Chain A
């Protein structure tokens, strides 16, 4: 299996984005190339006017008795981890063109951390025979 790590991000809450960013940054530090395809609510989270806002927590966090992020949801530094991954390694973030169409999001409205727009075949070509993780 190839060394490339491929992440498909579907969820747009801070906790799931942080889990994804942790994997991406770790892989980049380990000198593994990383491809990220952002779809649906993750794509929405990468909009310029949303990316720095409080993106909340996933459904799991609503269950009674669940621990909360110690510093509050806004303290979850998922974007910093993605930026570090880009700075330290080889990571490409693709916006899923299908989701862009579905949600009415154009490429210009996305944060510049997103490198390109891509269809699924482009992403799968980049992914090669590396693992694909869906978050």
Chain B
């Protein structure tokens, strides 16, 4: 996990904009997006679904990625993950 200050200064390697899609859309978009970046890259998922932050955290734990945390934005969440496998 990263602190809010760390997340605020972080520049992701890829942004996955899943705003407007409902569960499980953002999770599926995240998984798809993850395969397009090399190991060690950070991706940022944008989602308006309130379940996404929990889903991405659970998915990261299950699959072995590093879940960094969430920043609330204007009407959506910015969820940060590092690809580890």
Contact = CB atoms under 8 A, between A and B. Distances in A.
Interface residues of A, number: 10
Contact of A30 (B23, B32, B59): B59
Interface string B51-69: 0000100110011000000
B27 interface: yes
Contacts of A31: 62-63
Interface residues of B, number: 12
B23 A88 contact: no
A118 interface: no
Task: Find the residue from A22, A29, A87 having the highest chain B CB count within 10 A.
Answer: A29
Contacts of A130: none
Interface string B22-46: 0110011011100000000000000
Given A29-B31, A30-B58, 9 more contacts: A22-B23, A25-B24, A25-B27, A26-B23, A29-B28, A29-B30, A31-B62, A84-B28, A88-B31
Interface of A: 22, 25-26, 29-31, 81, 84, 87-88
Interface of B: 23-24, 27-28, 30-32, 55, 58-59, 62-63
